[in-house]
Amino acid sequence: MTTLNVNVHYVTRVEGHGDIVVDVKNGQIKECRFEVVEAPRFFEAFVRGRPYYELSHITSRICGDSAITSRF
Amino acid sequence: MTSNGKPKVAFFDFACCEGCQLTVVDSLQTHLDLLEAVEIVQFREAISDRGEDYQIAFIEGSCTRQADEERLRKIRAQASVVVALGACAHTACVNALKNLHPLEDVRRWVYGDQAEWYDTYEARPISAVIEVDAIIPGCPIDREEFIRVVKALLLGKKPPLPDYPVCVECKLKENVCMFHIGKFCMGPVTRAGCGAICPTYGDGCEGCRGFIPAPNENAMKDVLADAGLTVEAIMARFTMFNTYLVSARKADGEERR
Amino acid sequence: MKLMILDKSALAPMVNALRADYRVVGPQARGPQFAFDVITDPAQLRLDYNTTILPPKKVLQPQYERLLSFNRREYQVTPIIEATPTVLVGVHTCDLHAFLLLDQAFSREYPDAHYLERRRQTVIISLECLEPCDEYSFCRSMGTLTSDTGYDLHLTDLGTAYAVHVATETGRQILSRYATVREATEADVRQLNEVLSAKWPRFTYRLDFDAAELPALLGAAYDHPLWEELGERCLACGSCTNVCPTCYCFNVFDEVDMQLVAGERWRCWDSCQLDEFARVAGGENFRKARSARQRHRFMRKGKYLYEKFGELGCVGCGRCIRACVAKISILEGFNAIHQSA
């Protein structure tokens, strides 16, 4: 029976950091995890206390490339 | 260098959205010949290769964890040229807004009981940790500016970085000034290079490219106050993208006439 | 100089006829302001404009312009002169005076082939101002409220028609080929004279003194406290010089292809108000302070250009005053220096 240990230390060709961990023992999946190892930016916390008209401009930087379309 | 004489290039990211790297990928639409001029050995967002032998490192993202410093120093030790790619790496961008709050509170607010899973310290530009040779400002970067910087590096020249404010590009486009139509704009103190894209489309500059080398902060505040902004609103304009720079300037007591 | 009459209803057909052979550039609405731009429909032409954001200088010295192309492998350099036959319509007399100064700047010492070729291919149809264009202009003080030179044709609004002064052979040909006009009658001449003499009182002098005193006044004001005061308010954004009809400084840069073999040399407007304008090889910046840069601007406009070209560098158009978000006024500055002298 298959015993497998997959440890993808960061997935490529995607936006965002993620690792994949798969642990297979005797054909049985014991563990299968997608780990998000990205440094958090804390948007929910730092928008507190900002002027309301800024919020769409700041939160659209969750993905800055599409900042303008996100604003709408 | 590779045997074909092309410099080897790698891309890295820290706390950011990775949109500037996406802009790099996007720039290939109009500058496919970029791939003939350099060899990309590592670019997690775009390729699967993980080459560790590179001369030029483009780094996107802010440093927000003690643990990131070691990775940054490793990149610095390998690369002959380090380029800060985009506002997060250049100024810490909006990431530094969290520096205005107690960090423990920031972690709890977002992650509750799991707060201790998420290590963080005050967000900072990569230049606060390692020496940086060139900067491509902006949130996101301008792809033409990225190409210009690459060409300058290939020519062995100092990459161009506009040292004049957005107003210059805005005036040369003959835009109606934001202040003349009751809007607010950080253009007079913000580094140009974006082609004044926000004012061109009717929105005041937010300062995402950081300040010019010697911004007249006091005069800018007077102008914003004249335009009807409260002290709080003026500070918000200054800190939206430039919290780190504002704090650093305050610490330096920098002021030039 | 010959005087003709162009009925207002004949203006649009004239513009359309000109468009067949020329690029026609004239004032158009831009938001709440105006800008010189290529006319694609005669309805865009707004001869009732107050003033434009940028002066029509941009037609003769574009903001960005290619100078030459080069190839490093073939050691080849080819000049690029971008000029199109152009009719520039609706130029106010302040800007005409500025053209006369630019002509000197670009033809003396180092004749500039790019500027001069565009100048050669540009027909100028100017417009007499009958009312102050806005609160900032002080053209009468600077002697630019009228001009008897610098144009091919000059229009004066007579209500239902324009009086057209024909100043050059080019102007005469333009009228005969593209416009339906008639010769002015004695009554027309009388009406024109009335309109012209009635306009002067509407323009109040804004300078507290005779502009001819400016060079001497500024000569004695090098250490005036005004400069420090302006330096504190100035944002060094360069807007004042970028909108100035007589500023002609430029920067030069190269754009190369990705193979680093071929490319183009460009120039673009530059400004003495910017931090790095006066930085020279070796790193020294000899006008580091904003106060020194503002002083330099005042000196250029009121003294240096006069010494060089015999004309004041300020034509009183008021654009720099309007453009300055820090509300720095060259007029108030000149008056302040006069007052303390």
Question: Which of B13, B93, B123 is nearest residue A61 as measured by Cβ atoms?
Answer: B93
Q: Which residues of chain C have pLDDT under 50?
A: none
Q: Do the chains contact at C234 and B216, CB–CB below 8 Å?
A: yes
Residues of B in contact with A16 (CB under 8 A): 18
Residues of C with CB under 8 A from a CB of B: 30-33, 35, 53-54, 58, 63-64, 228, 231-239, 242-243, 253, 256-260, 268-269, 271, 274-276, 289-291, 323, 325-327
Percent of chain B with pLDDT over 70: 97
Establish, for the pair of chains B and C, how many residue pairs have beta carbons separated by less than 8 Å. 106
pLDDT at position B70: 97
Nearest residue on chain A to B47, judged by CA atoms?
A13
DSSP 8-class letter at A52: G
CA distance A42 to A35: 18
pLDDT in tens, B72-111: 999 999 999 999 999 999 999 999 999 999 999 999 999 9
pLDDT at position B257: 38
Nearest to C320 by CA among C310, C330, C311: C330
pLDDT at position C230: 98
Average pLDDT over residues B231-249: 95
Whether the pLDDT of residue A67 is over 90: the answer is no
pLDDT at position C297: 98
CA angle C75–C77–C83, rounded 5-degree value? 165
Chain C: closest CA distance from residue B123 (Å): 29
Q: Does B178 touch chain C (CB under 8 A)?
A: no
pLDDT in tens, B219-230: 999 999 999 999
Radius of gyration for the alpha carbons in chain B, expressed in angstroms and rounded = 19
Question: Which of B22, B87, B110 is nearest residue A40 as measured by Cβ atoms?
Answer: B110
pLDDT at position C1: 67
pLDDT in tens, A15-64: 888 899 999 999 899 999 999 888 999 999 999 999 999 999 999 999 88
Residues of A in contact with B139 (CB under 8 A): 61, 64, 67
CA distance B121 to B244: 13
Whether the pLDDT of residue B254 is over 80: the answer is no
Chain A: closest CA distance from residue B12 (Å): 11
pLDDT at position A36: 87
CA distance C153 to B106: 70
Confidence of residue B3 (pLDDT cuts 50, 70, 90): low
Chain A: closest CA distance from residue B257 (Å): 31
Q: Do the chains contact at B20 and A16, CB–CB below 8 Å?
A: no
Sequential DSSP letters for C197-253? HHHGGGS---SSS-GGGHHHHHHT-TT-THHHHHHHH-----HHHHT-TT---EEEE
CA distance C72 to C18: 42
Q: To which H or E segment does residue B58 belong?
A: strand B56-60
Q: Does B212 touch chain C (CB under 8 A)?
A: yes
Whether the pLDDT of residue B151 is over 60: the answer is yes
Cβ contact C316:C140 at 8 Å: yes
Confidence of residue B1 (pLDDT cuts 50, 70, 90): low
pLDDT at position C240: 98
SS3 B86: coil
pLDDT at position A16: 84
Question: Which of A12, A48, A49 is nearest residue B44 as measured by Cβ atoms?
Answer: A12
pLDDT in tens, B26-74: 999 899 999 999 999 999 999 999 999 999 999 999 999 999 999 999 9
- Indicate which of B94, B108, B119, B122 best probes the interface with A, i.e. most A CBs within 10 Å of its own CB: B94
Chain B: closest CA distance from residue C255 (Å): 8
pLDDT at position B2: 59
Residues of B in contact with A43 (CB under 8 A): 94
CA distance B79 to A33: 34
**What domains can be seen in chain B, in order of their start residue?**
8-154 (3.40.50.700), 166-252 (no CATH)
CA distance B163 to B211: 9
Q: To which H or E segment does residue B66 belong?
A: helix B66-78
Cβ contact C175:C164 at 8 Å: yes
